[in-house]
Chains A and B, each alone.
Chain A
Amino acid sequence: MTTTTETGPGPGPRALARQRRRASVARFWRQYRTERAGLYGLTALALCALLALFAPLFVGSDVSSVTDAPGRPMQSPSAGFPLGTDQFGRDLLGLVIWGSRVSLLVGLLAAVLSVAIGTLIGVTAGHFKGWYATVMMRITDWFLVMPTLVLAIALATVMSRSLTTTVVAIGVTTWPTTARLVRAQTLAVETRPYIERAKALGGGHWHIMSRHVLPNVMPLVLAQTTLIISSAILAEATLAFLGLGDPTVVSWGGLLQDAREAGAVSAGDWWYLVPPGIAIAVVALAFTLCGRAVESVLNPRLGVSR
């Protein structure tokens, strides 16, 4: 979990640390396996990730091309097109698989950005007391009361339409909960005696934050990331549906917007709408289940009750 990569000769302190870490990962996995819902989530995620990674093998990148679409417009599902076709005659199965790449990527990146900002602010606000912490927590509180979705929409409106915009809009609006959690954990860790020892030995702020506080906060951050990815994927779909996403790429939310604009709703062309929505729901639910499982392993009392 930390940055140790070198291999020292013999069971040096680093090898010992690595051993301990491997043991704790093994223990984590043993406990995680007992969470049935978490295992379902993990399996679903593994399948989706494989599908997205290897999409180019069975879906050509020209799947989104409007000019040489293989079918006739708005065909209902058939043997040739298991999920039917859209208003241009494109294969919807291919589009949904292709769309997973953007939806998953944006969800992951936005969550990583969000958790990175939250962790940075949380750890520093917990470590440095005084005016810095006060200012940071005021900013956090302010972001916390802002309606996340409205702020993300506003940001996406004023910036140009691109994937970066979507990632930034979601990332900079969802970090405050992480910051609050991480700060609380940091404050708890900082009272432990070995921090005192590290300070007495002359450890600087950076050393203490990166070597002592961060490793102890990491498990919490991991659980938080899993939970945030789920809401980031929903947020991406929402922005795309409102027409604020990158119009040149295929994503699940974008497909739903296309469907609505093509009149699929009033024409009753349900096959156009059902698959992208189910894909979003399955992935979001899978991440939520994993996050809850991780949480209940790390903090049994919290996990059961939530």
Chain B
Amino acid sequence: MTADATPALVEERKPAAGPRARRRSAYPRYLAGKVAGAAVSLLAVLVTSFFLFRLIPGDPVKTMTGGRQVSAEQLAAYREEFGLDLPLWRQFTDYCGKALTGDFGTSYQFRAPVVDKITEALPNTLLLTGTAFVLYTALGIFLGTRSAWRRGGLGDRINTGLALTLYSIPSFWLGLLLIIVLSVGIGPLPGMFPTGGMESGGKEGFAYVLDVAHHLVLPVVTLVAVEYGQTLLVTRSALLDEMGSDYLTTARAKGLRDDLVRRRHAVPNALLPTVTLIFINLGRTVAGVILVETVFSWPGLGGLFYQALSVPDLPLVQGLFFVFAAAVIVMNTLADLVYPLLDPRVAR
């Protein structure tokens, strides 16, 4: 925003309508390109998810039966049931064909369609990540802005130091500690929060909502603690880049109050790069939730992934791998699509 930040622009806060209208025509092409790119990436993920999990040494059927004595006929029957008797290329075309219609096969351990297990767990993950996402984004932007505005001060040093420290802490360790301190309780400290799960059972209506919220506290705190740092650092750095700009000097020279300059001029412009990060973070959180859900036995996609890994339940691992990767790709594409609407210079 520095290049064409003339005093005229400062008055309007948004870039003038002229260039925006001219460039809008470039947007459909840009959009088509990004969507096509995302489609190719998704296909590539599908292909990878098939071949990656064929690398596995050993016989998936043996894994499935877990070393029990099984007759040759039964093994053959299992092979046929899961389509493992077909040649590799047939398995591949079958897999892709079915995946495109939303069928990811049958889970070895649950004997249920992978899609059913995923759709069952998805809302729980969305609840957890959604809550955490809103909180850590707000916290990161708020603290990042304050930090940049008083750069080098004590508050800034504490903020960045704390963010970097929390960023270096393994999320699962923080979760385990929170469980010990706040759920199990240490010394005189009583346990205040449930150790895991999403509900205590037997609750209805409003009591149920409260119960779920109670279970939600610790996993959300863990996710926010490990994720807000990056938003903070990026917001801070974007704002610092912005702060030398002439238009801010102009705004101050007009006699605007300091916090007005910050809120109305600097922050909106500095948030542009942060928007990209926010979307990318959203995709990353979906993947990062694996550990937090495992630690808190949250019945979401991450917890399911852990259960699938320990068997390993290949169709389920495969399906979840696809979902996690797709989430990131979709979020990145959304970031690409939203960005030029905020900053029209991008879509050229």
Chain A residues proximal to chain B, CB less than 8 Å: 142, 145-147, 149-151, 153-155, 157-160, 230, 234, 237-238, 241-244, 253, 256, 259-260, 265-268, 270, 273-274, 276-277, 280-282, 284-285, 288-289, 304-306
Contact = CB atoms under 8 A, between A and B. Distances in A.
A103 to B, nearest CB: 11
13 contacts: A145-B332, A147-B328, A158-B55, A158-B56, A230-B168, A237-B170, A238-B170, A241-B172, A256-B176, A260-B176, A282-B168, A285-B165, A305-B237
Contacts of A274: 177
Contact of B169 (A151, A155, A277, A289): A277
Interface residues of B, number: 52
A304 B233 CA distance: 11
Contacts of B107: none
A243 B195 CA distance: 21
Contact of A288 (B44, B167, B184): B167
A154 B52 contact: yes
Given A154-B53, A234-B170, A256-B172, A242 B294 contact: yes
A242 B309 contact: yes
Contact of A289 (B41, B164, B283): B164
A268 B290 CA distance: 23
A266 B195 CA distance: 8
B92 interface: no
Contacts of A260: 176
**B-side binding surface: helix, strand, loop or mixed?**
helix
Nearest to A286: B168
Ranked 10 nearest A-B pairs via Cβ: A147-B287, A277-B173, A285-B168, A284-B168, A305-B237, A305-B240, A268-B184, A158-B56, A150-B324, A158-B55
A288 B160 CA distance: 12
Interface in B18-42: 41
Nearest to B167: A288
Contacts of A153: 290, 305, 309
B193 interface: no
Contacts of B180: 265, 268, 270, 273
Contact of B179 (A155, A243, A265, A305): A265
Contact of A270 (B186, B236, B328): B186
Chain A CB within 10 A, most for which of B57, B195, B284, B287:
B287
Contacts of B290: 149-150, 153, 242
Contacts of A304: 240
B291 A238 contact: yes
B317 interface: yes
A159 B56 CA distance: 6
B170 A147 contact: no
B240 A244 contact: no
Contact of A238 (B172, B284, B324): B172
A274 to B, nearest CB: 7
A95 to B, nearest CB: 16
Contacts of A155: 52
B179 A280 contact: no
User: Max chain A CB contacts within 10 Å: which of B180, B181, B287?
Assistant: B180
Interface string B277-302: 00000011011101100100000000
Contacts of B317: 154, 157
Contacts of B284: 147
Interface in B221-241: 233, 236-237, 240-241
A84 B169 CA distance: 22
Nearest to B324: A150
Nearest to B160: A37
Contact of A273 (B168, B173, B306, B310): B173
B287 A150 contact: yes
Given A158-B55, A277-B177, A285-B168, A142 B241 contact: no
Contacts of A267: 184
B329 interface: yes
Contacts of B186: 268, 270
Nearest to B174: A277
B184 A265 contact: yes
Contacts of B305: 153
> Quick one: which of B167, B288, B306 has the most chain A CB within 10 A?
B167
Nearest to A268: B184
B113 interface: no
Contact of A146 (B181, B294, B306, B328): B328
B9 to A, nearest CB: 23
A244 B170 contact: no
A268 B185 contact: yes
Given A142-B44, A147-B284, A273 B57 contact: no
Contacts of B328: 145-147
A40 to B, nearest CB: 10
B325 interface: yes
A285 B184 CA distance: 29
Nearest to B175: A265
B312 interface: yes
B177 A273 contact: yes
Contacts of B170: 234, 237-238, 241, 253, 256, 277, 280-281
B164 A147 contact: no
Contacts of A241: 170, 172, 291
A160 B57 contact: yes
Nearest to B57: A160
A260 B170 CA distance: 14
Interface in B189-240: 195, 233, 236-237, 240
